[in-house]
Structure 1
Amino acid sequence: MDLFSRSWSALRTAVADLPDEDFERPSGCTGWLVRDLVCHLVIDAQDVLITLVTPADTAPTADAATYWDLLGEPPTGEDPLDALIPRLAAAYGEPRWLKFHLDDVGSAAGRAAGLADPAGRVSTQDKVLTIGDYLSAYVLEWTLHHLDLVAHLPSAAGPPAETLAAARASLEKIAGTPFPASFSDRDALLVGTGRRTPTAAEKTALGDFAAQLPLVLG
């Protein structure tokens, strides 16, 4: 629960601190500008709120790792929902309205998560999880999107060290294999999810694990 709060707060703060011109720069998500990614975060926050008020009375069918589906190919931006995001983001007009909406809905999602019982069960995407596992899965989501946010913004603050470490541990659990100790948490996440191509030295260090990459999460 604490890591969820820290990762989400850091991401929202990073967005709030961006100058307007940065919203028109590319993000780390294929086909999306920073403004498109921020619009996606608004929808993510809405999803958190919806899920936290969708209780389940059956046994969990997934945990923080199996919540994620491994997709065959990286997104191209042509999925209907992915393609809708830039149109929604453009409709906001000025970055201040995107910032306002993210702060409004995002703050509510953060408060709801803080009030939730970690042992409670919720239903989302045809899966049942404990609230603790659901929020743990979102630590990975927030951390990856924080890296996406700052991918082309060298002066913007990145994710906290503790959430990078937690996200790396989650990705290793999903993969069933640890990344080499020579990889920083940031590099493990970027290379592991296909956000950056591994160097020749990194490929050598990865060994057979390299054939499993990238891990495209959906």
Structure 2
Amino acid sequence: MDFSHSWTALRAAIAGLSDENFDRPSGCTGWLVRDLVCHLIIDAQDVLITLVTPTDKEPTRDEITYWDLAESAPTGDDPLDALIVRLAAAYGEPRLLELHFDDVGSAAGRAAELADPDVRVSTRDEVLTVHDYLTAYVLESTLHHLDLIAHLPDAPRPPDRGLARARELLERIAGATFPASFSDTDALLVGTGRRAPTDTERAELGRLAGKVPLVLG
């Protein structure tokens, strides 16, 4: 399962962090690594809640339409972003954050493996199949894995399989493919505004340059 592959890699990367790593910047504007890990605890809880919220209603979203596109990139000033920073600080020791994520993250992984992919579940007042929901989360977990290691050059990277799947999903959201010269990582970083394209990359993007960055929400 693509979700399990990407999620397991993300969990392993967090488990390998030193205490000092938690105070490094992440790839998310305004968040340190510890803030990102706190956000991922909430992500893991959301996965658990969603997988145990079945419904008989017809699906309203799939793995692509699950994502809403925001008009502007996060600035770190959003009240919910600020709340994450306060929550992360409340843990005190980095190991407490890591242990909490390990608990809920491993539970989310087990729940995903046990879930029937054809069951419909409800989240954010929308309905998806388990398969579509977990597929959407491949993009979420891969992007946040890249955020995690943005300033940690020695940390393990997302698996190639997850990067390729996340790129495919982002291209389907964009309705266009990134140039073959872009690595999967570059397509994801440039495509979501995590870094600006170089002049050469912008020229290669062609019409797609007018569509990126895609700010996923």
Would you call these one fold, judging by a TM-score over 0.5? yes
Aligned match of 2:77 = 78
Aligned match of 1:208 = 207
- Aligned partners of 2:57 and 2:175: how far apart in 1? 27
| Equivalent runs, 1:65-104 vs 2, <5 Å | 65-104=64-103
CA shift for structure 1 position 161: 0.1
- Aligned partners of 2:47 and 2:108: how far apart in 1? 6
Report the 3-state secondary structure (helix = DSSP H, G, I; strand = E; otherwise coil) of the residue aligned with 1:141: helix
- Aligned partners of 2:203 and 2:75: how far apart in 1? 28
- Aligned partners of 2:53 and 2:70: how far apart in 1? 26
1:53-80, Cα deviation, whole Å (9 max, x unpaired)? 1111111111000000000000111211
Segments of 4+ moved more than 3 angstroms: none
- Aligned partners of 1:100 and 1:160: how far apart in 2? 23
Report the 3-state secondary structure (helix = DSSP H, G, I; strand = E; otherwise coil) of the residue aligned with 1:123: strand
Larger mean Cα displacement after TM superposition, 70-79 or 37-46: 70-79
1:167-218, Cα deviation, whole Å (9 max, x unpaired)? 0000000000000111000000000000010001100100111011100000
Count of residues in correspondence between the two structures? 217
Aligned match of 1:7 = 6
Aligned match of 2:183 = 184
- Structure 1's unaligned 5+ residue stretches are none
Give aligned-pair identity as a percent.
72
1:83-108, Cα deviation, whole Å (9 max, x unpaired)? 10011001111111011000000011
- Aligned partners of 2:42 and 2:76: how far apart in 1? 16
* Alignment TM-score, normalising by the size of structure 1: 0.99
* Alignment TM-score, normalising by the size of structure 2: 0.99
CA shift for structure 1 position 13: 0.5
Larger mean Cα displacement after TM superposition, 163-172 or 204-213: 204-213
| Equivalent runs, 1:19-34 vs 2, <5 Å | 19-34=18-33
- Structure 2's unaligned 5+ residue stretches are none
